[in-house]
Amino acid sequence: MKLQWRKSSYSESANGCVEVGSSPSVVGVRDSKLGDRSPVLTFSRRAFAAFLAAR
């Protein structure tokens, strides 16, 4: 599955950031410094929304 990756504009040129990728059904999280070689944590969109809403 091909994800569209992005990272925060606050990271500027730093490579030690978390990237988030999305597709119509899932959201992935990876380490930007490893790029395509990074392991990816994959969540359903519903599970990722619950993660973001948790306090």
At 14 the pLDDT is 65
At 50 the pLDDT is 97
* pLDDT tens, position by position, 2-54: 899 998 777 776 667 889 999 999 999 999 889 899 999 999 999 999 999 99
Distances in whole angstroms, Cα of residue 48 to Cα of each of 13, 15, 25, 37, 38 = 26, 23, 11, 22, 19
At 17 the pLDDT is 87
Q: Any idea where the domains of the chain sit in the sequence?
A: 24-55
The pTM score is 0.80
